[in-house]
Structure formats: structure tokens, C-alpha cells
Amino acid sequence: MLAEIRAKVEAGKRLDRADGRWLLTDAPLVELGALAQEMRFRLHPERQVSFVIDSNPNYTNVCVTDCQFCAFYRKPGDAEAWTLTVEQVLEKIDSAARMGATTVLRNNMLSIYIAPNVYDAEGTVAREAARFVAWVKASPPLRPDAPVLLPGEVERATRSERTAHGVPVDDKTHADLLAAAASVGIASDTAEAMIA
């Protein structure tokens, strides 16, 4: 598949959605990086790279979304959860500027706090939410073999699967990880134990 994508890229053709999905989920990272580097030099032959010095002052790590890619967030009430004051965020920005940062990236966490018992002691909100969820789940699925899912369900299922069985690593990536470990002096048995 990478050879087909390479041919498209070299011919100046656009990649389609299937190409993008394969690159995101299955492409061997080292080869993909090499292709990207090759194309970069084709478009910008001078061997010069510029960087933006960025600062990313998050005001909290509390989030309820369960994104499968995020190892940063903590659930409300977690012992490692934190939230900064406005003054603390501004101090982080000032500190980054003193160290040479040229931009500030605002990356927020999603936190929704609703206390239905304050305005709905009869439980109407919970009943309506359950009714809405049932209505959404009763929708015909796009693919007959895949159920209709709510936000967070894929991420929770992935987290459960990976907690129970680990993160799947293809043979090529496994070999690349061992080679990278060896290149910095980590013995193969130690690297294997880290990967396992």
C-alpha cells in the first residue's frame, strides 16, 4: 500500500480517504517518515528547517471525554487532577516568553459539571438523557455489522482492550523499536521487556 501511495505522491495526485485511513492506522512509521522527508526535500531542497517555539499552558488536566490518544487527562476527583488559576496560567505564559517562546497554543480539556439535583429533584433530566441515548442507539447503523456508538464508547472499549491485552505492535514497528533501543545502548532483552 505504501508503494501505491508513494506513486500517487510522486505523480502529484491527491490521496483519498482510504489512503489517509491506512496512513493513520497501518503505515510503518519509519518508512512513512522517510517518504515525508523525501517529499519535503523535493519541495524545499535547501537543508534548512525553521521552528516555532511554542508554549502550551493547559489550565487543567481534568477531562471527561476519554480520548484514546490522550495520556494527559485525569477524571474529576482524581488525586492527580489539577486546575490552574488565571494568574498561574499567565505566569506560565510569561515564563515561556522569557525562555524564547514565540506563540501560545491554547489546548483545553473538556469538563462538564452539571448537578441535576440542584434544578431537577424529580429526575426528569436523567430520564430525558436516557430516552435520548436510547433514541440515538436505535438509529439504523451505517454498517450492519457495527452498532451505533455514543461519544466515548470506542475510546472506553479501546482502553479496556489495551489494558487487558496491551497495545498491538506490528512486526516492523517491533523491529524498529528494538533497533532504536539498540542505537542508544539498550540491550535487546531489556528492550523486549519494555515493549512487552
pLDDT digits (tens, 9 = 90+) for 82-134: 988 888 988 988 998 898 888 888 766 666 677 777 777 788 888 888 998 99
Query: What pTM, to 2 d.p., does this model score?
Result: 0.37
Q: How confident is the model at residue 71 (pLDDT cuts 50, 70, 90)?
A: confident
- Taking the C-alpha atoms of residue 16 and residue 21, their distance in angstroms, rounded to an integer, is 9
166's grid cell:
496491551
Q: How confident is the model at residue 4 (pLDDT cuts 50, 70, 90)?
A: very high
Average pLDDT over residues 42-64: 83
Q: Where are the domains of the chain?
A: 1-49, 51-113, 123-195
For 141-154, give one letter per residue: b (16+ CB within 10 A) or e. Answer: eeeeeeeeeeeeee
- Taking the C-alpha atoms of residue 178 and residue 185, their distance in angstroms, rounded to an integer, is 11
* pLDDT tens string 143-161: 888 899 888 888 888 889 9
Q: How far is CA 146 from CA 23, 85, 131, 137, 138, in A?
A: 22, 43, 21, 11, 13
Q: What are phi and psi of 51, to 5 degrees?
A: -130, 150
Residues in the chain: 196
Q: What is the pLDDT of residue 15?
A: 92
Say if residue 80's pLDDT is above 70.
yes
Average pLDDT over residues 31-52: 85
Q: What is the pLDDT of residue 44?
A: 85
Q: What is the pLDDT of residue 109?
A: 61
78 and 61 Cβ atoms separated by less than 8 Å: no
Q: How confident is the model at residue 19 (pLDDT cuts 50, 70, 90)?
A: very high
Q: What is the pLDDT of residue 107?
A: 65
Q: What are phi and psi of 166, to 5 degrees?
A: 85, 175
Q: What is the pLDDT of residue 45?
A: 86
Q: What is the pLDDT of residue 108?
A: 64
Q: Which of 56, 75, 80 is nearest to 65 (CA)?
A: 75
- Taking the C-alpha atoms of residue 179 and residue 28, their distance in angstroms, rounded to an integer, is 14
